[in-house]
Amino acid sequence: MATGLEKLLDFNQPLDVPLLDEVVMAMYTCRDDAQRKQINAFMTAFQEHPQAWTRVDTILESTKCDQSKFFALATLEACVKQRWKVLPPDQRELIKSYIVNVIVRYSSDEEALQRTKMQLGKLNLILVQILKHEWPHNWKDFIPQIVESGKTNETLCGNNMQILKLLSEEVFEFSMKQLTSKKIDDLKERLTEEFQLIYQLCEFVMQNAKNVTTLQTTLQCFLRFLFWIPLYYVFETNLIDMLLHKFFPHNQFRCDSLQCLTEIAAIESKNVDPKYHPRIQKMYFDFITNLTNVVHPDAIKQYYEEVDGGEEFVQRLTLFLTTIFKTHLPILETQELATGLIQGLQYLAQISKVEDDEIFKICVEYWHDLADDLYHKEHHHMMQARPAIAAPFASAVPQIPSARLQTYSPILVQVRRILIDRMPKPEEVLVVEDENGCVVKEHLKDVEVVALHKMVRETLVFLTHLDHQQTEEIMIEKLGLQVHPSPGGPSWSRQGLSTLCWAIGSISGAMREDDEKKFLVHVIKDLLGLVEIVRGKDNKAVIASNIMYVVGQYPRFLRAHWKFLKTVVNKLFEFMHETHPGVQDMACETFLKICQRCKHQFVKHQPQEHSPFIEQLLVGPHQTVCDIGTTIQDLEAHQQNMFYEAVGYIVAAENDAERRDRIVMELFKLPNSRWQAKIERAMVEPSFLLEQETMREIAKILQINVRVASSLGTPYVTQLQQIYERMLQVYKMYSEQISAAVAGNALSAKTSAVRLMRAVKRETLRLIETTVDKSEDVQRIVTQVVPPLVDYVLEDYKSNHPETRDPEVLSVFAAIIRKAGDAITDQVPRILGAVFECTLAMITANMEDYPEHRINFYMLLKEINQKCFRAFFQIPGDVFKVVIDSIIWAIKHRERNIADAGLTILLEMLRNLDGLADIAQQFYAQFLLSLLHETFSVLTDKEHEPGFKLQCEILQHLVCRVEQGMPAAAIFNAAEHPGVTDNRQFVRAHLFKMLSDGFSERMTGTQLQDFVAALFDPSKDKTAFQTLMRDFLVSLREYNCDQWTQSSLSLQLEAQNKEASRKEEEAAKWQSVPGLMPVMQREEVYM
């Protein structure tokens, strides 16, 4: 085999095609890993050989093996992508002519096209790659050639259309990955200029072709053109008429023509000249007329389920209708088109009933937009009609709806019913019915369902504002059929009741308060009555789940009606003793939600109560409220934690500090008594702490403290003081035990005893971090919490075996620095001295071990950088150099989050230095050249492409400081660099040499000089600088396609910016529409 491979790599001998076939087939059939690696190495070496492309024609013409043909084509593609610009012009012309001839030969008749279909597709792609290099400057007549050849032969024409489609996609959709910005502009301009010829070919084919495949390809090709071609070709030609009347009526072209019509409908209204509005109106009217000949609205569901291709057609139809309504609804709302408009919406309403999640989601998006628009237009209508009462519109729809709303009302009735019937499950609901009909606890959240629920909820809120009475009537009617089914009709169903209750919960806050009260009392009364009627634990669990969800969604009602709130909470306490899967979890979560939204009601002394609810709960027993011990006795540990967190929110609402501290002590009476009992026994019998059950109990007690600290906030420090010293002593004792065990045998770190001791240590650190994060008393944290922590924890961390060092130590001190800022600066050198070098040694040994330590280490550096920057310059210079080295190591890390952390820290450090001139001078004198080198190193490394935008910002910052004269002292030896007069000149020369050493084979010296000069252009903003860097990387990529691909981070950051803007807009929308804001994000109104 080895001899044969060497023979194939000898380009001085004729190619042995049968031997190549044998080798290629062995790659697919051989099971010997060593031999497969050998063959793979041969294939790579063959494709990388400068003369490999010369073998392609021999292989294609001689072999019968399809795998060998694909290998040959892959070799040719690699040559075109990677080596095209270094090939002599005559060789480029030879390759181009050969590919064109083969494509013509393969696609000139139907039999050859079908036989070579796969190879032809690859050849088309290669031709487009060549076009990106050669067209238009070196192949000016390409478009006329392909158009004229297309008119001679139908099958050839179909393939030509495929090539034009690929070219359009490459230029207008995928060009950012592979072309410089100037090249992209040139290609777009030329393709637009020559589109008239392309259009003539498409029109010629659509009018004259008989071959179905050719027509389908032409329609698919034109689809790729529609979003960029001049609007003249859309609205002033017979294109729309051909799509509507020649192709849409025929089943084989219906979906393709519908896609083209959807793309036309998607042209933004602001880009459409008003003179084209009648054309759009006629397009819509003719479409609806033709659609009625295909399927009646009431038969849509049947068409979807029974007709061949029905699923695809209904999906395409949904996209067309929603697109044209979203984009051009105002010009369709004319008296002449009113019937057609309602008919189109009727189709969409019927489509919304189809059991297809994707189609339903598309429909809901449109109903959301329509309801939103109607609500705000109705608001405007009301303000004009009755300006004096405009403000109360938030809770009352105008008595006389506008003519526009009346037009849509019949459709909105259907939409309300559909959305109520198909309401997705909210994430708060844990008790669900599985596919087998069993009622179980849900363990995983479906993020798509959660997102869909949010959209349906908002839509129902808008619809409720538009006509709350109708929404209420529909829900009451459906609830009545569940509770009191009509004779002979369907009985209640779990799914039917659940979706109804989810819909009822979704409109919280969308009615006037008195209407909401009447509605909710009716709902709860019926649900409680249903609990008494139905039999079976599963059925009762489902109803209980729905009751808990509904009451949890109406905090405004609960706050205004204490007796009802108390009844609800006591009912939740009952459910906490119900062992059916999911019921206890949901009861605890609902109690937590209510405590967050109604906390003031529980500390307030309510009428006809002898004391506030919180005191009854904590002190107990009481005739109407069980004490806390009795309430939680059947709950599991995580449920008890949730319960304590909920009570923590209540306690935080108490404004009297003395009374609040007393309540805190009462709240922790049970956990503290268990804690104290264990500590007292341990003082007499130290080995007691080493019992595994003791460790578990201590961890549980600390977990309760963590949850209460998160909800109680600053007042929790009162409780922490009770256990802090003993807790740190237990921490130290366990740490010593762990170190002793690991010192004897490193494998003992995996034993259950050591894991339990480490669990206690983790909970201790988590408690301290939570307390610090939630506390606003910074002085108390710095003076009372930090000193003992430093004494106990830092030295312990430094002396521990690497396997037993807790990464939470790093996050605790990061939290302290984040909270305390300058107040803790003097302690930072000591913190770094204890954790820096030992942690760095752990995380830099390789890139895989200790991932949590690595993340927390850089989080600590980030906090020091942001909050205590001057502390970096209180440490010795050699240590600071190690800090910089650690940041550089981070930006070169393969893990995305670590690399991003390193880039962020470095960029913030450079910005911080801008305000410290003296320190900045020293910093740049020492680190400028190395930072430039390392930044270019990751910029040109494919593995680090996600960091492109941050890398560009760092590089731009560095060159800008150089251009501004930073540092002032020379960073070069004048004797070694004669003629260099300042740092600006030296850095330019240094960068040119560095880039020449690395990329002289890929770019000319002139190109590199121009690039370096452009780097220092002070007029470039961030976007222009990134474009410069992208073009530089694309130039490198033209030599080697694996060197760089499009920066995903730049796209991601753009998406993040859009997401931030979306959230701001959403927050503003929530404020303007009552009930739209999710319940858990609404501010509690103290009553």
Greater confidence (887 vs 1081) lies with 887
The pLDDT, as a whole number, for residue 624 is 59
Compute, in degrees rounded to 10, the torsion defined by CA atoms 796, 799, 800, 806.
50
Torsion angles phi and psi, residue 434, rounded to 5: -85, 180
CA 610 to each of CA 119, 480, 616, 1066: distance values in angstroms, whole numbers, following the listed order: 87, 39, 9, 44
CB 846 within 8 A of CB 799: no
Instruction: Tell me the helices (H) and strands (E) count for the chain, helix number first.
Output: 52, 2
Asked if the bond preceding 424 is cis, omega within 30° of 0, the reply is no
Average pLDDT of 1071-1087? Answer: 68
- How much is the pLDDT for 240? 95
pLDDT of residue 538: 82
pLDDT at 1002 over 80: no
CA atoms within 13 A on the CB side of 322: 21
pLDDT band at 373 (very low <50, low <70, confident <90, very high): very high
560-595 per-position pLDDT tens digit: 999 999 989 998 998 899 888 888 988 999 999 999
DSSP sequence for 418-446: HHHHTPPPPTT--EEE-TTS-EEE--S--
Report pLDDT digits (tens) over 414-439. 999 999 999 998 887 776 666 566 65
pLDDT digits (tens, 9 = 90+) for 306-337: 999 999 999 999 999 999 999 999 999 998 88
Least confident piece of the model among 273-277, 747-751, 1028-1032 = 747-751
Of the candidates 576, 568, 667, 665, the residue with the CA atom closest to the CA atom of residue 624: 568
Tokens of residue 106, six digits: 């393969």
pLDDT in the model for residue 102:
94
**pLDDT at residue 1037, as a whole number:** 64
pLDDT in the model for residue 581? 82
Spatial distance between the Cα atoms of 458 and 655, rounded to a whole number of angstroms:
35
Mean pLDDT across the stretch 232-244? 94
Q: How far, in Å, CA of 679 to CA of 691, rounded? A: 13
One-letter amino acid at 957 equals H
pLDDT at 732: 92
Instruction: State the pLDDT at residue 1056.
Output: 57
- Residues 763-766: contacts with CB under 8 Å, at least 24 apart: 763/699, 763/702, 763/703, 763/706, 764/702, 764/727, 764/728, 764/730, 764/731, 765/793, 765/806, 765/808, 765/809, 765/811, 765/812, 766/702, 766/706, 766/808
The residue with tokens 């602001």 is 270
* Residue 1084, pLDDT above cutoff 60: no
pLDDT surpassing 80 at residue 178: no
Asked if residue 11 has pLDDT above 80, the reply is yes
pLDDT of residue 917: 86
For the record, the structure tokens of 437 come out as 């009909």
**655 in helix, strand or coil?**
coil
Distance CA 175, CA 170 (A): 5
- Secondary structure in 3-state letters for 905-968: HHHHHHHHHCCCHHHHHHHHHHHHHHHHHHHHHHHCCHHHHHHHHHHHHHHHHHHHHHHCCCCC
Let me know the angle formed at the C-alpha of 624 by 574 and 612, rounded to the nearest 5 degrees: 115
pLDDT tens per residue, range 127-148: 999 998 888 888 989 999 999 9
Confidence of residue 377 (pLDDT cuts 50, 70, 90): confident
pLDDT band per the 50, 70, 90 thresholds, residue 395: very low
Enter the tokens of residue 372.
């939103």
The rounded radius of gyration (Å) of the Cα atoms in the chain is 36
Residue-wise DSSP of 277-322 = HHHHHHHHHHHHHHHHHH--GGGHHHHHHHSTTHHHHHHHHHHHHH
Tens of pLDDT, residues 192-218: 888 999 999 999 999 988 889 999 999
Beta bridge partners of 501: none
Cα separation of the two ends of the chain: 87
Residue 747 in 3-state DSSP?
helix
Alpha helical stretches, state H, 138-211 = 142-150, 154-172, 181-193, 195-208
Q: What is the pLDDT confidence band of residue 625, given thresholds at 50, 70 and 90? A: low
**pLDDT tens figures, 892-935:** 998 888 999 999 999 999 999 998 888 999 999 999 999 999 99
Q: What is the pLDDT of residue 1049?
A: 40
Q: Tell me how far the alpha carbon of residue 828 is from its chain's centroid.
A: 36
Measured in degrees and rounded to the nearest 5, phi and psi for residue 429 equal -80, 125
H or E segment and range at residue 717: helix 717-744
Q: What angle do CA 464, 466, 469 make, to 5 degrees?
A: 60
pLDDT at 1044: 33
- Angle between helix axes 1022-1037 and 1005-1015 (nearest 10 degrees) is 160
DSSP state of 392: G
User: For residues 294, 299, 304 and 309, what is the CA-based torsion angle, rounded to 10 degrees?
Assistant: -20
Across 707-716, average pLDDT: 95
The mean of the pLDDT values for the chain is: 88
Please give the structure tokens belonging to residue 1001. 């084979």
pLDDT tens-digit profile of 695-706? 999 999 999 999
Listed residue (798, 854, 1045, 1081) closest to 946, CA to CA = 1045
468 band by pLDDT with thresholds 50, 70 and 90: very high
271-301 as b/e, with b when 16 or more CB fall inside 10 Å? Answer: ebeeebbebbbebbbbbbeebeeebebeebb
Backbone phi and psi for residue 441, each to the nearest 5 degrees, phi listed first: -90, 130
Pick from 535-539, 897-901, 1062-1066: least confident: 1062-1066
With beta carbons less than 8 A apart as the criterion, state whether 712 and 679 touch. Answer: no
Torsion of CA 956, 947, 1007, 189, to 10 degrees: -100
- Which DSSP helix (H) or strand (E) runs through 588? helix 583-603
Amino acid at 141: D
pLDDT value at 1042 more than 60: no
* Residue 389 predicted with pLDDT over 80: no
Contact, 702 vs 760, CB < 8 A? Answer: yes
**What integer pLDDT is reported at residue 71 of this predicted model?**
93
pLDDT for position 596: 92
Q: Is 672 helix (H, G, I), strand (E, B) or coil?
A: helix
Instruction: Report the range out of 338-347, 396-405, 1065-1074 with the highest average pLDDT.
Output: 338-347
HEC-encoded secondary structure of 951-1006: HHHHHHHHHHHHHCCCCCCCCCCCCCCCCCCCHHHHHHHHHHHHHHHHHCCCCCHH
